[in-house]
Chains A and B, each alone.
Chain A
């Protein structure tokens, strides 16, 4: 580069360089030219007295897509690159610069590129005044910030887009600090759980159902042990309508600049319906499994009972065929008749059992326990009188149970007639009680009778065809049927008993219909 260069003496301090540049700049256009051409994207110089008189340097025109050499007349080109509104805005900038005495201004100016796109120029301006202090010219030095501005707009759009996604999705997005205090929650979370921005900074753990908190803490612990990896957990949280929702969460420990877990990011979605359905399926499976086991057991018992008669019949027929005389044959015929009668009786019993099995929820009706007990006692009146049993009833009036009425009748009849049948030889007593306990109405039937050795028979008491006393008319069906009926109504039956002391049956009637 050739230019008039004056070197300054110096004593080691660098001030001389600044002085040198000052002189260099004053001595010719070299420095200014360089700045115009390489540091700036354009310079304009406007005549403030003649609105149409505007001049732009080559760089200015190139920035706007024009070839300066091919521009015959700048005055004609200006209206194409800057709109009257933008010109007016620049003029306001100039006026403000004059008014505040700085004679400078800066602003964004939007110009039109030759290809139609908007070019965003950052303009720093200087107002040049004449000797009388009147503004005469305006100098503008321009930097093209279109790209930066586009990037900003794009970034804002992206941010807006993602923020809309975060807010509008039906997923919860929550962040907490390492202490578990909320630092961010998305709109969906706010909306669903009725929280507002006051929640930020409060402990997230407290919004979770208490029983689930240890589970939550365990997963947070994993996030610290294994950061940047998702850890899953299902937690329950009360909704704004006080319903408890189950949410599936993915927790992730986010590392801070120091490499320690600084935040926990939690992304969750509602799985209440799924969990409910799962629970329902589980319940259904349990019921089905129980029913299946019962049915299989039932099938074996049926087979046993029918087979025992059929075995007798087969044997008797064989014996009859080989009977040595008519007397013998008549005896076998008599036995054959007894056997067929028993078979018929067995089949009648089976009918009774089949009808006692199976879910019957929809057939339940409320019944006042006290009244039903009294009715059963009335039906057994003669039997009670003959047996000399003292009956005491302590069931509060108004205690109602939702039952299948026929089942309740049958249960009361079975338990009461058992209590009387297997009574004590001396001063026999039967006591009935009733009370509520944890979603059940409990009926107690206690006696001071023979009792059952539970150490020996606990698993057989409610079994089919199980009899425990040498009583000729015992069928071994009563307790089996009572248990089936209680269970079919969603309840259970329990027994406390000791030989020679007595038995107390507790029937738990399920109150929920």
Chain B
């Protein structure tokens, strides 16, 4: 039994999402990874999903629907269980960090790049 059976990666940068997926797959705590290139497609998937993810890794700057709008839509969803969101972004803007904390759905804020240490932290925090 893995700590996070299903993980959503919401990230428009193809390389970043592939790298994230690889790292997650190499770590025993994480199971299946589903990638979305913007907030809208992730939100659509959540609305229709039969299987609710155990963790969402969310980028902020994305076209069509960015991370903030995703969080607005996400917090309005009625999900059968609580799904922790970790913001994973290149932004170090203090406003972004402060704004993230204002969402109760956001469990943590991480700066890219994602690495094994960060994954260990996520497991310790949320696993």
Contact = CB atoms under 8 A, between A and B. Distances in A.
Interface stretch (B48-56, B74-82, B89-97, B101-109): B89-97
Contacts of A307: 90-92, 111-112
The main secondary structure of chain A at its interface with chain B is helix
Given A300-B91, A315-B16, A319-B22, 10 more contacts: A303-B90, A304-B90, A304-B92, A308-B112, A310-B113, A312-B112, A314-B113, A314-B115, A318-B115, A342-B15
A348 B94 CA distance: 26
A315 B19 contact: yes
Contacts of B16: 308, 311-312, 315
A304 B64 contact: no
A469 B15 contact: no
A137 to B, nearest CB: 112
Nearest to B88: A311
Contacts of B90: 303-305, 307-308, 311
Contacts, number: 71
B61 A465 contact: yes
A469 B113 contact: no
B13 A476 contact: no
Contacts of B38: 470
A242 interface: no
A456 interface: yes
A476 B63 contact: yes
Interface residues of A, number: 28
Contacts of B23: 315, 319
A290 B91 CA distance: 22
Interface in B12-53: 13, 15-16, 18-19, 22-23, 38
Interface of B: 13, 15-16, 18-19, 22-23, 38, 61, 63-64, 66, 69, 89-93, 111-115
Given A469-B63, A476-B63, A339 B92 contact: no
Given A303-B92, A308-B13, A456-B69, A315 B113 contact: yes
A293 to B, nearest CB: 12
Interface string A127-153: 000000000000000000000000000
Contacts of B92: 300, 303-304, 307
A311 B64 contact: no
B64 A469 contact: yes
A469 B65 CA distance: 9
A173 B111 CA distance: 69
A315 B113 CA distance: 6
Nearest to A296: B93
Contacts of B112: 307-308, 311-312, 315
A314 B90 CA distance: 13
A470 B39 CA distance: 12
A467 B113 CA distance: 23
A304 B93 contact: yes
A303 B23 CA distance: 24
A327 to B, nearest CB: 14
Contacts of A465: 61
Contacts of A467: 63-64
11 contacts: A303-B90, A310-B113, A312-B15, A312-B113, A315-B114, A460-B66, A466-B63, A468-B64, A470-B63, A470-B64, A476-B63
A95 interface: no
A474 interface: yes
Nearest to B114: A315
A315 B118 CA distance: 12
Nearest to A300: B93
Give the most central of A315, A319, A467: most B CB within 10 Å: A315
A305 B113 CA distance: 13
Contacts of A476: 63
Given A304-B93, A307-B111, A456-B69, A335 B63 contact: no
A312 B16 CA distance: 6
Contacts of B61: 304, 465
Contacts of A310: 113
A361 interface: no
Contacts of B19: 312, 315-316, 319, 335
Nearest to A471: B63
A316 B17 CA distance: 12
Interface in A282-329: 300, 303-305, 307-308, 310-312, 314-316, 318-319
A470 B62 CA distance: 10
Contact of A335 (B18, B69, B89, B113): B18
